[in-house]
Each structure stands twice: as C-alpha cells, then as structure tokens.
Amino acid sequence: METIEVFRENGIVTVTMSRPAKKNAANGTMWDELRDTFKEIANNADDRGMILTGAGGEFCSGADLSDGGARRANTHALASMRNITDVAMSLARIPQPTIAKVRGVAVGAGCNMALMCDLVVCSDTARFAEIFAKRGLSLDFGGTWVLPRRIGLHKAKELALFGDIISAQEAERIGLVNHVEQDAELDAFVDNWAAKLAAGPPIALAQSKRMLNNAMNVTLEQALEDEGAAQALNFGTKDTAEAMAAFLEKRVPRFNGR
C-alpha cells in the first residue's frame, strides 16, 4: 500500500496513515486503502482490536484539498463523496473495539475519523477542529452523527459553526476524547488499553459495541429486547463458559471468540 501501514501483533492491528509531508491528509488512494483495510479487519477473526494513528507526529489533517479532496477525475462531486461515506461506514462497521491514537492535528475528516473510533486517546499537544466552515464546507465523514453523540448538540454546533481549533485539554473537558496523556506516555497507555481489549471476549464486546451505537435510535423496550437476545447468544458461547469456569477457579479467563 502507498499511503497507510498495517502492523499486527498479539491480536491488535495498528493502521497508520502515512503521508507525513501532508500531515497525513487523505487523497483518493488513502481513502481507498483505508476502506479496504477496515473491511478486511472487520472480517478477520484474528484481529481482536484496532489502533488507528498517523505517522510523523500528526494524526490526519483531513482530505487533501490540493489533490481534490474526495473529488475524483471525471466524476460528479456527489458520486465522489459516496466514497467518503463508504470509508466512514467501513470504520463504523468494524465489530472489534477501535482506538484512535492522536498526536498533532486531527482536523476536518481527520477529526471525525478519530471520533468514529470507539475510544480516543491523545497526546497533551494534540489539536482538534471541525474546520469545514473555514473552507466553505459543511461537516462530512459522519461528523453530523458522531459529534452530537460525543459532546451534545449545542457544543457540537459551536465546534461546527465556528470551526475553531481546540486543545487536547479542552477536548477532554468537553468529552471529545476519552483520555489525554503526555506525549512520551501515549504509546504505552494505548498499548495497555489495546492489550486489555484484545484479551476480552470478542463476541460479547462486539454485542455491547453494536447496542451502544444503536442506543439513541431505539426505545427502552427495544434496547431491553436486544440485550436479552445478545445475552442469549453469549450464554451459548464457549467464552462465557470459560469466564464462569475462570471465576470459580480464581484465574484469568482465556477468551478465543467462540
């Protein structure tokens, strides 16, 4: 691949956007490679979790507008944007837990790419912005969906309508990110979280992730029904039997996703 690097170790796949000279701005090739990689991870039972990050001390500065952004040659802009939609949906559909590890800038589509991950951990020098308005654009890459779910509607409007850059500390204060670490400690912190997720029960974690993502779209009755169905599925797995046995034997369970 030309624009991303994929590394697998101990059940964790790390996807690194790698166009450091452009602060990892996404061109057409990167969008294609991210989409294909996200889809491949979703169907790889050996991948127990994903870390999404950027090379060169930056996360992602959004779409590469100098390269046309999402626009493809001889293609209507609306058709081109469907490719961005496909990338965003491919990320959202990954059943395994996902962590965005953010250094440097995460702006525009890059900001929303981080927010589409289940967890966001950043360095203390990271910066975030829904910068679209300052480029004469409206939100994309799922920003209108994920932003109010992260921080509430009114705060989401503030970030979207002004497009200002905010610090890591402000991002943590308003709930945009889960945790801020000093830059030197960021890798170790994320690796620890990823290892814990990789050691968890894959089927149960995927069920919880799916239901939480649907939480604002269902009634309480529907949520309870869904929880019951998910638990019935879990009780039929070897992982739940292993968890019960490990509890009685006072040992750490070993989950294998079956």
DSSP string, 110-150: HHHHHHTSSEEEEETT-EEE-GGGGGT----TTHHHHHHHH
Q: Quick one: average pLDDT of 6-15?
A: 97
Could you tell me the strand order of the sheet in which 105-107 lies?
105-107, 127-129, 166-167
pTM, entire model: 0.93
**pLDDT band, residue 69 (cuts 50/70/90):** low
- Give the rounded percent of residues in the chain with a pLDDT score beyond 70: 95
C-alpha 122/C-alpha 193 separation (Å) is: 13
Position 211 scores a pLDDT of 97
Please choose, from the candidates 127, 139, 120, the residue with its C-alpha nearest in 3D space to the C-alpha of residue 165. Answer: 127
- Do 144 and 61 touch, CB atoms closer than 8 A? no
Paired with 100 in beta bridges are: 52, 120
Paired with 19 in beta bridges are: none
- CA torsion, points 37, 166, 151, 104, in degrees to nearest 10? 20
Q: Which amino acid is at 39?
A: K
Q: What is the mean pLDDT of the chain?
A: 94
Asked if the model's pLDDT at residue 201 lies above 60, the reply is: yes
How does DSSP classify residue 60?
B
Buried residues in 185-199 as b, exposed as e (16+ CB within 10 A): ebeebbbebbeebbe
Question: pLDDT tens for residues 131-174?
Answer: 999 999 999 999 999 999 999 999 999 999 999 999 999 999 99
Query: For the chain, which domains are there?
Result: 4-198 (3.90.226.10), 202-249 (1.10.12)
Residue length of the chain: 258
Question: pLDDT tens for residues 35-50?
Answer: 999 999 999 999 999 9
